[in-house]
Amino acid sequence: MKYKKIAAILTAATIFISTTTVAFAETPFTDIEKNWAKTHIISVNEKGLMNGTTSDKFSPDTAVNKYSAIISIARMMGIANMDLSEITAKHKELLDKYKVPDYAQKETAFCLEKGIIQGEIEMDKFGAQSQATKLDVCVYLGRAFGVQLDTSKPPVTLSYKDALAIPSMYKIYVDHMIKIGVVDSKGDAEGLFRPDTPVTRAMFAKMLDLASAEYVATTVSTEPPVVSVPSENTQTPPEDEENIDTPINNTDNGTKTTAKDKGIIDTITYTRNAQPKILLENESKNLVEYTLPADLIKENVIINGQLSDIYSLRPGLYIEIEVISGKIEKISTVDMTKRVNIQAIVKQVDPLNSLMFVDVYDAEDGTAIEKKVFMRDAKIGDMSFNLLSMDALSPGQSINLIGIEDMEGIKAQTVILNQ
């Protein structure tokens, strides 16, 4: 703990001294003179957090890749003052398995160790050409700040028009970035967050510059902060109204009780000093936390009918579990896909991310159920069989929707506009 404080102080001092010189520094790059993020670019360069793509070019409009993002975040956390040889050796097998480039190995190992990258689940999404999205950067920075889910609080509510496109388990990180001023709570000019938009180096420089200033002020704390999720109702609900269940425990006579539960994986948490945990939204819509033994044998982990391991689990899977005293003994996925042919009303269209949100009305009681629709492979047409683009879709339109529905939403195959 003492070392952590020393490293944090050295990091803070380095960033602070660098920050005080920014106002007097000349532009080190020839391609940022008229760029909107010029001051942030100079700042992160002076702090030693980002370099140019060449000696005199920054390439502000080029998308930042994931390795570059985590390298900069690791620098923000003070790796210059750390010996990472043991950590790198510890994660060498995983680094080699995913062909992590030499220039990013120690930073990747550090981020794996600190939980900024969560094991094989997320390493599988990395690559030399993989671009970091706006949501990726918020998640990595949030984890660097030690943001954790507080299950005793109501879920985070974001005001973006496309908030539904942000997975629930990542909203805590976006919310923290809003709180420290890294992202705008109102979104862009259209009120959108655009989570899947690749982040340019200029955009990342701004986010990193603002985050690093906050990190200096908070990093010396000995324990990571736990996010208190804001609620629209300031009153604390009575215990019997809270949306959190207590995991099945032992019976009074000391014998172990086996129970079953079923639902959607909301969050999987991996930490260095504790067993992995799953936050499950069960069929009663309650959030229940279970311990997931890291050594659970493959015969007891069944994914899509195949023997697997816990690191192949991911948020959004619909699972059935057998539990003893709050600890998962067996886990298997449940196939929830079905073919749909329904009539719906368009609620929101997001052509950039090939998404649409629709209301589907229950024929019996007339209530509307919102559905997320993935449009990437969909064919769109009208009643006259004219092929159309997503630009032809707008809120309020009546459509016929054919596709495959699972727990994530509907993967549209055909969309017909009703005239």
Domains and their CATH numbers in the chain: 2-218 (no CATH), 244-333 (2.40.50), 338-417 (2.40.50.140)
Residue 415 confidence (pLDDT): 92
The phi-psi region of residue 168 (left if phi > 0; otherwise alpha if psi is between -120 and 50; otherwise beta) is alpha
**How far, in Å, are 56, 126, 161, 394 from residue 345 at the CA level?**
52, 37, 17, 10
Bridge-partner residues for 357, per DSSP? 348, 372
For strands 368-374 and 410-417, give the pairing: parallel
Question: Residue 251: its pLDDT value, please?
Answer: 42
Of 23, 368, 354, which is closest to residue 165 (Cα–Cα)? 354
Q: Is residue 208 helix, strand or coil? A: helix
Q: Is 6 helix (H, G, I), strand (E, B) or coil?
A: helix
pLDDT of 153: 76
Give the closest residue to 108 by CA, choosing from 77, 87, 125: 87
Compute and round to an integer the Cα radius of gyration of the chain. 24
Pairing of strands 410-417, 398-405: antiparallel
Residue 260 sits at φ, ψ, to 5 deg, of: -120, 150
**Angle in degrees, CA 119, 125, 130, rounded to 5:** 135
- The contacts of residue 99 (CB under 8 Å, 6+ apart) are none
pLDDT at position 128 is 57
Confidence at residue 287, expressed as pLDDT on a 0 to 100 scale: 82
Q: Cα(13)–Cα(40) distance, rounded to whole angstroms? A: 18
Question: What per-residue confidence (pLDDT) applies to 332?
Answer: 85
Q: What is the pLDDT of residue 406?
A: 76
Angle of CA points 191, 193, 198, to nearest 5°: 135
pLDDT digit of tens for each residue in the chain (419 aa)? 443 444 444 454 445 444 444 443 467 899 999 999 999 999 999 989 999 998 899 999 999 999 999 999 999 998 887 889 999 999 999 999 999 999 999 999 999 999 999 888 788 888 756 899 999 999 999 999 988 877 777 888 899 999 888 888 899 999 999 999 999 999 999 999 999 999 999 999 999 999 998 888 775 443 444 443 443 443 433 333 333 343 444 444 555 667 888 888 877 776 666 778 888 887 777 888 888 887 777 678 887 777 877 777 777 778 888 888 778 888 888 766 778 888 999 999 988 888 999 998 876 667 888 889 999 888 998 888 788 889 999 999 999 999 888 767 899 999 999 86
d(CA 346, CA 397) in angstroms, rounded, equals 5
Q: CA of 368: how far to CAs of 295, 347, 364, 415, in Å? A: 44, 11, 11, 19
